[in-house]
Amino acid sequence: MSRYHEIKHRVATTFQRHVGNPILVRLPAQPILETTGRKSGEPRRTPIGGRRVGRSFWIVSEFGEKSQYVRNIQADPRVRVRLKGRWHTGTARLLHEDDARARLKTLPTVNSAAVRAIGTNLLTIRVDLDD
Model confidence at 81: pLDDT above 80 = yes
36 confidence band (pLDDT: 50, 70, 90): very high
The three-state DSSP-derived secondary structure of the chain is CCHHHHHHHHHHHHHHHHHHHHHHCCCCCCCEEEEECCCCCCEEEEECCCEEECCEEEEEECCHHHCHHHHHHHHCCEEEEEECCEEEEEEEEEECCCCHHHHHCCCCHHHHHHHHHHCCCCEEEEEEECC
pLDDT more than 90, % of the chain: 66
61 confidence band (pLDDT: 50, 70, 90): very high
> What pTM did the predictor assign?
0.83
Model confidence at 50: pLDDT above 60 = yes
